[in-house]
């Protein structure tokens, strides 16, 4: 059986469930109605356990079983969800996540993991007290003994069945059981029993009146045979007599020696085949049944040895009908189709091809001067644009999931530091490109940790400042004119201007006596190696500073700014483009080709002539500022004559500026970024490609690389880049 695919499904499913579980765990405290969250936790472990069992993942089954049992007690209000329990279940959640990760890594249940699991199970057990130790004791995967029956039990089994009246109504058909018995062995003798079927109107066609006595020759064991009737035995009278039982002899013995009855009963009970009560019943029944029918009487004696299947009578079950009605859970159901990310990328890619093809068709249609043709290509092109936008939209995901991860961090970190912090999340439904979300996680994490660690003050200070005991950290996301704004704010101590200045001077970042503006001071913390915390805790201060955060944000073509008020709090704002797949570009021409510069890196555009400082050293003089420049036609080895009037695009990356000399300035446009094939990835200076409306390909310039190149060659002869392979 090929279960590999199903196993992948299981892994993904488990990860999702664990995500939901974690969220529930982190939000459950303080909720007035915990039922939904508790249910979510229960269902996560319940489902994982159920599916893991199918794959024979006994370690996961075993562990999740214990967690499930505890959650079930919480669910049924036998156990309250204390903070300590939440923490413990969180640990269990982590362990389960690890187990799933191990499974995914192809090394299910390494020994170390088993130890961790056992440790957690031991800590869970106290929560199960009073319920019996059964819950945590063993892997509950039912393993039927399939051992061969002892020699003495081989032969023919006698089965006596009188089916309950409601058996048919419950969907059980004696026919099916007989068919199934046929798969276990050979039915060597069988007598039906339908004497109870009434005549006339009394006959209820949906009631079962059927029963049988049969002998089955099989080498299946007792359990297997009994299990055939497991779904009906509560309502029916089923007796199973092993081969070679000397039933008649037993009965004869009991009859002859009534004073031994008890002893005999005990013997039989010890043997696991009969209860004392049954023995008494036996004798009653035996009398009764001897009247029931001629042909089977000989067999009837055989029905007397009873394996006690007595269960609470159906009456008890019926009484429970009044049980509370179920609340239909109103879990908000988002209809979601899961798609692999690379399929989406492929789609976006194909849409790019479609844009090219569409543009080509448009040009060709224009040449035909056929109005209808032109009209229909125009319609197609509109549709293509709509498809492009939709396709890019598919990669948009809500930021909520990323935000929710911080619940855990905030909880853990604040506990560790002994601070009490409330996390507020707003705008969780704000969407942005999946690839951005992924890259945003780390910098955001750093900012959040900084806020908790350095921002929010210790309790004493908060008290002294007259602030509420619990600090507030809030994560907000919103759309702001074509970009996404993400804010992390806290009501902590804010940035300490004098401390930052002192540090900056110490590090030589600013000169003594300078008086930078507040904003400039704030920006200092983005300098490499800058940290003002008096003590380096193990949270932040891991050598990764805000400089890395800014670099990450830069890479996403976003920007970051800080607003702070000493003693009142800090607000960090990150602005990001909606998607990495489309940029606002500035198009320039060199010879016959087009290049695109990301617009946000363009400072200004000039004629080269008036600003040329030194042709030899490739320098321009921009109102007193001397900048290096690069000729793109040299970078890309275009050997044709430059036009008379060359232009310069001044670009900036970080603090460095440089000029790029081109032939023509072609204006702004929105560029759909297409990744470069492996062949082009080695080429410096090119970051990607895009398709122009005309269907032509334009290369997107890698400005950081070009700026670096320009700086390096400032005083040296131009280093030649490897030749650009001919495209197309």
Partner 1 sequence: MFNIQEAKRNGQTVLKLAGELTIYSASEAKTGLAKYSDKKSPQELDLSGIEEIDTAGVQVLLWAKREAAGRKRPITLVNHSAAVIDALDLLKVTSLFGDPILIVPSGK
Partner 2 sequence: MAKTIMIIDDSASLRQVVAITLHEAGYEVQEAIDGRDAIAKLQGQKVHLMICDVNMPNMDGITFLKTVRTLPNYKFTPIIMLTTEAGEEKKKEGQAAGARAWVVKPFKPDQLLVAVSKLVLP
Task: With residue 502 as reference, give the H or E element that holds it.
Answer: helix 497-506
Please say which residue, 189 or 277, places its beta carbon nearer to partner 1.
Answer: 189
Question: What span, in angstroms and rounded, lies between the C-alpha atoms of 262 and 254?
Answer: 9
Give least dist CB 178 to partner 1, A.
Answer: 5
Question: What span, in angstroms and rounded, lies between the C-alpha atoms of 254 and 153?
Answer: 23
Is the distance from CB of 606 to CB of 645 less than 8 angstroms? no
Is the distance from CB of 601 to CB of 652 less than 8 angstroms? yes
Residue 68: exposure state from Cβ atoms within 10 A (0-12, 13-18, ≥19):
buried
Could you say which of partner 1, partner 2, none residue 208 binds, taking C-beta under 5 to 8 angstroms by partner kind?
Answer: partner 1
Number of helices (H) and strands (E), helices first, in the chain? 24, 22
Q: Cα 471–474–479 angle (5° rounding)?
A: 165
Give least dist CB 192 to partner 1, A.
Answer: 5
Task: Look at residue 574 and give its three-state secondary structure.
Answer: strand
Residue 200 binding partner 1, by CB under 8 A:
yes
Could you say which of partner 2, partner 1, none residue 77 binds, taking C-beta under 5 to 8 angstroms by partner kind?
Answer: none
From residue 33 to residue 52, what is the string marking binding to partner 2 with x (rule CB under 8 A)? ---------xx--xx-xxxx
**Part in contact with partner 2 (CB under 8 A); list of ranges 25-33, 55-63, 266-274, 423-431:** 55-63
Count of residues engaged in binding partner 1, rule: CB under 8 A: 22
Could you say which of partner 2, partner 1, none residue 76 binds, taking C-beta under 5 to 8 angstroms by partner kind?
Answer: partner 2
Residue 669 binding partner 2, by CB under 8 A:
no
Among 56, 119, 132, 192, binds partner 1 (CB under 8 A): 192
- Tokens 């510069």: give the residue: 597
Task: With residue 613 as reference, give the H or E element that holds it.
Answer: strand 612-614
Task: Look at residue 690 and give its three-state secondary structure.
Answer: strand
Could you say which of partner 1, partner 2, none residue 7 binds, taking C-beta under 5 to 8 angstroms by partner kind?
Answer: partner 2
Residues 6+ apart with CB under 8 A from 105: none
Please say which residue, 127 or 210, places its beta carbon nearer to partner 1.
Answer: 210
In the beta sheet, which residues pair with residue 585? 598, 669
Give least dist CB 312 to partner 2, A.
Answer: 9
Strands (E), 43-85: none
Could you say which of partner 1, partner 2, none residue 203 binds, taking C-beta under 5 to 8 angstroms by partner kind?
Answer: partner 1
Which of 4, 105, 118 lies closest to 59 in space, CA to CA?
Answer: 118
Among 11, 85, 101, 191, binds partner 1 (CB under 8 A): 191
59: left (phi > 0), else alpha (psi -120 to 50), else beta?
alpha
**Part in contact with partner 1 (CB under 8 A); list of ranges 146-154, 206-214, 232-240, 522-530:** 206-214
Please say which residue, 135 or 601, places its beta carbon nearer to partner 2.
Answer: 135
Among 234, 308, 385, 554, binds partner 2 (CB under 8 A): 234
Residue 292 binding partner 1, by CB under 8 A:
no
**Part in contact with partner 1 (CB under 8 A); list of ranges 200-208, 473-481, 642-650, 688-696:** 200-208
Distances (CA, A) of 285 to 229, 244, 249: 21, 21, 16
Among 20, 85, 116, 190, binds partner 1 (CB under 8 A): 190
Residue 465 binding partner 1, by CB under 8 A:
no
Give least dist CB 329 to partner 2, A.
Answer: 5
- Tokens 């690069």: give the residue: 630
Could you say which of partner 2, partner 1, none residue 278 binds, taking C-beta under 5 to 8 angstroms by partner kind?
Answer: none
DSSP 518-563: HHHHHHHTTSTT----SS--SSS-SS--HHHHHHHHHHTT-EEEEE
Question: What span, in angstroms and rounded, lies between the C-alpha atoms of 48 and 71?
Answer: 14
Question: What span, in angstroms and rounded, lies between the C-alpha atoms of 611 and 623?
Answer: 8
Give least dist CB 328 to partner 2, A.
Answer: 7
Which of 63, 73, 123, 69 lies closest to 93 in space, CA to CA?
Answer: 63
Could you say which of partner 2, partner 1, none residue 69 binds, taking C-beta under 5 to 8 angstroms by partner kind?
Answer: partner 2
Give least dist CB 224 to partner 2, A.
Answer: 9
From residue 212 to residue 251, what is the string marking binding to partner 1 with x (rule CB under 8 A)? x---------------------------------------
In the beta sheet, which residues pair with residue 161? 212, 238
Which of 243, 163, 148 lies closest to 211 in space, CA to CA?
Answer: 163
Among 30, 126, 150, 171, binds partner 2 (CB under 8 A): 171
Residue 209 binding partner 1, by CB under 8 A:
yes
Task: Look at residue 485 and give its three-state secondary structure.
Answer: strand
Give least dist CB 200 to partner 1, A.
Answer: 7
Residue 221 binding partner 2, by CB under 8 A:
no
Please say which residue, 180 or 468, places its beta carbon nearer to partner 1.
Answer: 180
Please say which residue, 30 or 312, places its beta carbon nearer to partner 2.
Answer: 312
Please say which residue, 56 or 643, places its beta carbon nearer to partner 2.
Answer: 56
**Part in contact with partner 2 (CB under 8 A); list of ranges 319-327, 413-421, 534-542, 631-639:** 319-327
Residue 177 binding partner 2, by CB under 8 A:
yes
Among 117, 136, 174, 471, binds partner 1 (CB under 8 A): 174
Look at strands 471-480 and 483-490 and give their pairing. antiparallel
Estimate to the nearest angstrom the gap between the alpha carbon of 64 and the chain centroid: 18
Please say which residue, 196 or 468, places its beta carbon nearer to partner 1.
Answer: 196
**Part in contact with partner 1 (CB under 8 A); list of ranges 26-34, 197-205, 264-272, 578-586:** 197-205
Which of 106, 234, 92, 64 lies closest to 164 in space, CA to CA?
Answer: 234
Question: What span, in angstroms and rounded, lies between the C-alpha atoms of 262 and 141?
Answer: 37
Which residues within the stretch 257-286 sit at the binding site for partner 1 (CB under 8 A)?
none
Distances (CA, A) of 628 to 218, 576, 622: 94, 29, 10
Residue 318 binding partner 2, by CB under 8 A:
yes
Provide the residue count of the chain. Answer: 728
Which of 196, 208, 210 lies closest to 160 in space, CA to CA?
Answer: 210
Could you say which of partner 2, partner 1, none residue 212 binds, taking C-beta under 5 to 8 angstroms by partner kind?
Answer: partner 1
Give least dist CB 121 to partner 2, A.
Answer: 15
Question: What span, in angstroms and rounded, lies between the C-alpha atoms of 421 and 470?
Answer: 5
Residues 6+ apart with CB under 8 A from 642: 631, 633, 663
Residue 180 binding partner 1, by CB under 8 A:
no
Task: Look at residue 22 and give its three-state secondary structure.
Answer: helix
What angle separates helix 400-417 from helix 434-450, to the nearest 10 degrees?
A: 20
Which residues within the stretch 73-92 sit at the binding site for partner 2 (CB under 8 A)?
76
Among 32, 142, 337, 716, binds partner 2 (CB under 8 A): 142
Question: What span, in angstroms and rounded, lies between the C-alpha atoms of 228 and 207?
Answer: 21
Return residues touching partner 1 (CB under 8 A): 168-169, 173-175, 178-179, 182, 190-192, 194, 197, 199-200, 203, 205-206, 208-210, 212
Contacts with partner 2, residue ranges (CB under 8 A): 1-3, 5-7, 9-10, 13, 42-43, 46-47, 49-56, 61, 68-69, 72, 76, 135, 140-142, 144, 166-173, 176-177, 179-180, 183, 206, 227-228, 230-232, 234-235, 317-318, 320-321, 323, 326, 328-329, 331, 333
């Amino acid at each position: 059986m090929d279960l590999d695919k199903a196993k992948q499904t299981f892994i993904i499913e488990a990860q999702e469930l664990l995500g939901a579980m974690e969220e529930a765990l982190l939000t459950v405290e303080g909720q007035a109605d915990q039922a939904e969250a508790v249910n979510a936790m229960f269902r996560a472990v319940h489902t994982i356990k159920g599916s893991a069992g199918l794959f024979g993942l006994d370690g996961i089954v075993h562990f999740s079983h214990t967690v499930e049992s505890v959650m079930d007690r919480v669910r049924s209000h036998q156990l309250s969800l204390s903070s300590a329990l939440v923490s413990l279940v969180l640990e269990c959640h982590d362990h389960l996540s690890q187990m799933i990760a191990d499974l995914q890594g192809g090394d299910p249940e390494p020994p170390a993991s088993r130890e961790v699991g056992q440790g957690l199970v031991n800590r869970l057990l106290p929560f199960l007290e009073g319920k019996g130790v059964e819950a945590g004791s063993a892997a509950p995967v039912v393993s039927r003994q399939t051992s061969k029956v002892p020699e003495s039990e081989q032969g023919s089994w006698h089965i006596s069945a009188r089916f309950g009246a409601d058996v048919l109504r419950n969907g059980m058909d004696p026919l099916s059981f007989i068919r199934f018995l046929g798969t276990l062995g050979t039915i060597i003798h069988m007598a039906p029993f339908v004497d109870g079927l009434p005549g006339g109107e009394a006959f209820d066609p949906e009631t079962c009146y059927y029963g049988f006595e049969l002998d089955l020759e099989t080498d299946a064991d007792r359990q297997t045979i009994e299990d055939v009737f497991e779904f009906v035995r509560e309502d029916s009278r089923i007796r199973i007599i092993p081969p070679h039982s000397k039933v008649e002899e037993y009965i004869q013995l009991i009859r002859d020696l009534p004073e031994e009855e008890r002893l005999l009963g005990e013997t039989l009970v010890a043997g696991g085949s009969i209860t004392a009560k049954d023995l008494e019943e036996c004798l009653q029944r035996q009398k009764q049944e001897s009247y029931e029918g001629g042909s089977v009487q000989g067999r009837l004696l055989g029905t007397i040895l009873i394996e006690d299947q007595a269960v609470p009578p159906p009456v008890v079950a019926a009484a429970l009908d009044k049980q509370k009605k179920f609340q239909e859970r109103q879990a908000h159901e988002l209809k979601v189709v899961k798609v692999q990310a690379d399929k989406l990328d492929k789609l976006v890619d194909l849409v790019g091809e479609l844009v090219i093809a569409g543009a080509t068709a448009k040009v060709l249609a224009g040449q035909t001067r056929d109005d209808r043709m032109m009209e229909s290509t125009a319609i197609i092109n509109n549709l293509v644009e709509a498809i492009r936008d939709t396709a890019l939209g598919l990669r948009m995901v809500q930021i909520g999931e990323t935000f929710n991860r911080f619940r855990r961090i905030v909880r853990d970190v604040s506990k560790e530091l002994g601070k009490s912090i409330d996390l507020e999340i707003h705008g969780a439904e704000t969407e942005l490109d999946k690839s951005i979300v992924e890259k945003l996680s780390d910098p955001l994490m750093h900012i959040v940790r900084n806020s908790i660690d350095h921002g929010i003050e210790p309790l004493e200070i908060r008290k002294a400042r007259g602030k509420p005991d619990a600090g507030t950290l809030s994560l907000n996301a919103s759309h702001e004119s074509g970009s996404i704004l993400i804010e992390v704010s806290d009501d902590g101590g804010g940035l300490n201007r004098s401390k930052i200045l002192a540090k900056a001077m110490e590090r030589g970042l600013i000169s003594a006596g300078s008086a930078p503006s507040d904003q400039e001071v704030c920006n200092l913390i983005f300098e490499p190696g800058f940290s003002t915390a008096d003590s380096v805790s193990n949270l932040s201060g891991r050598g990764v500073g805000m400089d890395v955060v800014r670099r990450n944000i830069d890479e996403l073509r976003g920007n970051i700014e800080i607003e702070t008020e000493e003693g009142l709090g800090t607000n960090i704002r990150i602005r990001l483009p909606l998607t990495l797949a489309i940029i606002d570009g500035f198009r320039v021409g060199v010879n016959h080709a087009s290049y695109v510069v990301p617009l946000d890196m363009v400072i200004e555009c000039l004629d080269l002539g008036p600003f040329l400082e030194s042709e030899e050293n490739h320098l321009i003089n921009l109102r007193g500022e001397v900048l290096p420049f690069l000729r793109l036609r040299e970078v890309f080895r275009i050997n044709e004559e430059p036009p008379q009037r060359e232009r310069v695009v001044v670009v900036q990356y970080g603090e460095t500026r440089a000029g790029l000399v081109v032939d023509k300035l072609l204006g702004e446009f929105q560029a759909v970024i297409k990744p470069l094939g492996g062949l082009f990835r080695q080429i410096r200076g090119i970051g990607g490609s895009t398709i122009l409306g005309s269907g032509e390909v334009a290369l997107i310039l890698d400005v950081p690389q070009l700026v670096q190149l320009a700086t390096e060659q400032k005083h040296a002869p131009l280093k030649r880049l490897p030749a650009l392979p001919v495209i197309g």
